[in-house]
Structure 1
Amino acid sequence: MGIIIQISQFLLGLSLLIILHELGHFIPAKLFGTRVEKFYLFFDVKFSLFKKKIGETVYGIGWLPLGGYVKISGMIDESMDTEAMKEEPKPWEFRSKPAWQRLIIMLGGVIVNFVLAYVIYFFLSFIYGDKNIDATSIQDGYLVENPLLTDLGFKTGDNITKVGDHDVKYVSDIKGNFIGAKTITFTRNGVEQTITMPVDFLGQFSDSKRRDLFEMRRPFVIGAIQDSSLNKGANLKDGDLIKAVNGKALKYFDELTPILNESKGKEVSVTLLRDQELITETLKVDNNAKFGISSGLTHQMMQDLGYFTMTTKEYSFGESFGGGYNKFTGQVGKYFGQLKEIGNPETGAYKGVGGFYAILNVFPDTWSWPVFWSITAFLSIMLGVLNLLPIPALDGGHVMFLLYEMVSGRKPSDKFMEYAQTVGFFILIGLVLFANGNDIFKAIFK
């Protein structure tokens, strides 16, 4: 069921972004009297799942979910319809329009992506506000299990106070500012320390099998009991909090691991807190040092148990304009930071570049509208920024040549544009193969 929810969110978010991006080209093209021959969600290689001609435009859905497109008359694009370009320009064609109109048509998709992201952040601020975990309320530091971090000198219990130049006010500040951070500052036993991160840490992290960095330490709250668990049928209820095992007090889940490792294939005595009462139950530990029980913990439970404090900032309708703007500009800045790290071979960040499978895994396996819209807004920013790259075949490539024409007064020849489009197409294919190849490599070997 979880994978179905992930795929549903992925397809819904992707479809929304593609349709609105292409509308960003379609609407100004029509306003300027330019003929649009096709408007497609997904690519219709060889055949379409659906198509219908309305007026002069064929609207359809392709079978290959790698994007979408609008085919504008008189424009050299991914269709490479060079035969039509040999004829005399028609008044309704893209090439017959003034450069400023063509520029607006080409920038329309990117503008829509950025406007969409801002609108989503505006409504997220207005409807949900900002919910954050106060970093100063974390009692016993963070869980550090990633060998990359322990080898650098980090330990479980370290309390992260600064990531790069950014003070950690909320727990989300750690992950949000980690990319590009040169140093991490933390306190250990009341003493502040700073560790310098290796230049290629992002590359090392991409190569590792661990997907976590600094995690919050969590108690063990009983959730679902797996069908294969040796404890199926035990006197356990959702929400039971494990307080002790074999008489050893247990505050955090990570403190349970060494106890279970010593008790493989044995029974242990577990003290549970249920409805403000302590009860004792005997549980079995399998040969993998597991109970076979999933955690049923939520952030609300952790706050109720006193492990941290959550803060909620609410916005009025007017305040949401500023709140949405801050979220939007913050995410744009972070994404440009990611691209900067990816573009520097020394960081090894390119190893973390992913394709459609990586994007799919960004979505959770449970449905949450705030999470879905937050991810969709970020993907909209990502799509907008990537389309601005000055690569022929992307919007940014067309914009680059249009700006050259407007400054120099000379229009690149159709033959040059054909060659540029071909080169750009192969660059894009290479990038797509690299990104999705990374996904396949990680799935097979990691």
Structure 2
Amino acid sequence: MEFIIKIGQFLLSLSLLIVLHELGHFIPAKAFKTRVEKFYLFFDVKYSLFKKKIGETVYGIGWLPLGGYVKISGMIDESMDKEQMALPPQPWEFRSKPAWQRLIIMLGGVFVNFVLAYVIYVVMSFAYGDTDIDAASIKGGMLIENPLLTDIGFQTGDHVVKIDDIKIINESDIRKNIIGANSVTIKRNGTEKTIQLPVDFLGQLSSSKDRSLFDLRQPFIVSKVLDTSLNKGVDLKEGDIFMSINGKSAEFYDQVLPVLEQSKGQTITTVFKRGNTNIERTLKVDDKGKLDILTQTKASDLEKLGYLKVVRKEYGFTESFGVGLNKFTGQITSYFGQLKAIFNPSTGAYKGVGGFKAIYDVFPSTWSWPAFWSLTAFLSIMLGVLNLLPIPALDGGHVMFLLYEIISGRKPSEKFLEKAQLVGFFILIGLVLFANGNDIFKAIFN
């Protein structure tokens, strides 16, 4: 069921983005009376799952879910239709249209991607508002388990107060700003300390088996003692909080589990907090280092118990437009920062580039509309930005040659465009193979 939910979200998001992106090309093409021969969701290599001709356009669904396309008459694209290009230009063809019209047609897909992301952020801000965690309110600091972080000086219990020169207000600010950062300022035992991140931090993180960063520490709060537990008869109630084991502080999982591992088959003296009272209980640890006690860590419970403070914001309809714009521009800035790091070999960020498996993995295993729309907005920005790259075969490549034509007044020859398209196609195939090869490498070796 988990696979079905994840693949369902993945295909729905991908299909929505492809159809709308191609509509961005289709609509201005039709507006400028340019013939569109095909409009396809997914690629129809050899055959189609569905196709129907309406007017002069064949609409269809291919079997290969790696993208989609519109085939515009008289345009040098991935179809490499040399026979059509060898004929005299016709009034309805792309090559016969003024450069400014061709530029609008080519930018239409990216424009729709950006508009879609902005609209999603606006609607989500109005419908759901924002929920975050006040970073300063997190009791016990952050959980640091990744050896990469501990090796450069981080410790469990650290509070992140600043990344580079950006002050951390909410817990999500850490994730937003850590990519491409040079330093992290933490507070430990009341004293601030700045830790420098290695230049290839992203590369090391991408290559490590543990890719966790700064996680919330989870308190050990009793939910239920299992009937099969050696501690079945012990007086423990829902909501009791672990405080110590054999006299040593043990309020969080990361403190409890190591002690249990060392106490296999032994009896331990524990202290739990029940309301405002501390109670002492003797517990038995089984041969696997388990107590067989179910725990609870819901955010609402943690907030009530004072482990963190949830920050909730609601926005009015008109206010949502400004909030959505801030989210949109912030995400674009962040993604350009990621691309900059990827194209800088010294950062090693290219090791983190992923393909379709990586995109599939970001979707949650349970259906969540807020998560779905948030990820779709991000993927829409990603698709828009990547299509703007000045690589022949991408929209950005076509735009690059059109801008040259508009500025210089000289149109590149069709032979040159055909060769450029072929080079761009091989570059694109190489990037796709590299990204998906990274997925395979990580699946095998990590």
- Normalising by structure 2, we get a TM-score of 0.92
Q: Distance in 1 between matches of 2:287 and 2:55?
A: 67
2:105 aligned residue: 105
SS in 1 for 2:311: strand
SS in 1 for 2:185: strand
Q: Distance in 2 between matches of 1:92 and 1:140?
A: 67
Q: Distance in 1 between matches of 2:237 and 2:342?
A: 44
Q: Distance in 2 between matches of 1:92 and 1:232?
A: 81
8 A contact 2:125–2:323 mirrored in 1: yes
Task: Give the alignment's Cα RMSD to 1 decimal.
Answer: 2.6
- Of 114-123 and 407-416, deviating more is 407-416
8 A contact 1:160–1:185 mirrored in 2: yes
2:192 corresponds to which letter in structure 1?
E
Residues 28-177 of structure 1 correspond to what in structure 2 (within 5 A)? 28-177=28-177
Structure 2: gaps spanning 5 or more residues = none
Deviations 1:1-44 (A, max 9, x none): 22221111111111110110000001111111111111111111
CA change 1:283–1:414 in 2 (3 A) is: farther
SS in 2 for 1:192: strand
8 A contact 1:230–1:291 mirrored in 2: no
Q: Distance in 2 between matches of 1:93 and 1:75?
A: 7
Q: Distance in 2 between matches of 1:144 and 1:402?
A: 50
Fraction of identical pairs, as percent = 65
CA change 1:291–1:436 in 2 (3 A) is: farther
Structure 1: gaps spanning 5 or more residues = none
Q: Distance in 2 between matches of 1:318 and 1:417?
A: 46
1:260 corresponds to which letter in structure 2?
L
8 A contact 1:242–1:270 mirrored in 2: no
Q: Distance in 2 between matches of 1:101 and 1:294?
A: 64
SS in 1 for 2:440: helix
1:403 corresponds to which letter in structure 2?
L
Residues 271-290 of structure 1 correspond to what in structure 2 (within 5 A)? 285=286, 287=288, 289-290=289-290
CA change 1:49–1:268 in 2 (3 A) is: farther
2:385 aligned residue: 385
8 A contact 1:40–1:70 mirrored in 2: yes
SS in 1 for 2:307: coil
Q: Distance in 2 between matches of 1:394 and 1:53?
A: 26
Q: Distance in 1 between matches of 2:202 and 2:224?
A: 35
Q: Distance in 2 between matches of 1:238 and 1:255?
A: 21
8 A contact 1:268–1:285 mirrored in 2: no
Alignment: residue pair count: 443
Deviations 1:226-251 (A, max 9, x none): 9xx97599689996555257555532
2:211 corresponds to which letter in structure 1?
R
Residues 217-296 of structure 1 correspond to what in structure 2 (within 5 A)? 217-221=217-221, 231=229, 241-243=240-242, 250-264=250-264, 285=286, 287=288, 289-290=289-290, 296=296
- Normalising by structure 1, we get a TM-score of 0.92
1:429 aligned residue: 429
Q: Structure 1 residue 129: deviation in Å? A: 1.1
1:135 corresponds to which letter in structure 2?
A
Deviations 1:330-382 (A, max 9, x none): 00000000001111100000000001111111111112111111111011000
Q: Distance in 1 between matches of 2:173 and 2:310?
A: 14
CA change 1:5–1:273 in 2 (3 A) is: farther
SS in 1 for 2:23: helix
2:152 corresponds to which letter in structure 1?
L
Deviations 1:235-272 (A, max 9, x none): 89996555257555532111112112112355767777
Q: Structure 1 residue 130: deviation in Å? A: 1.4
- Of 73-82 and 328-337, deviating more is 73-82
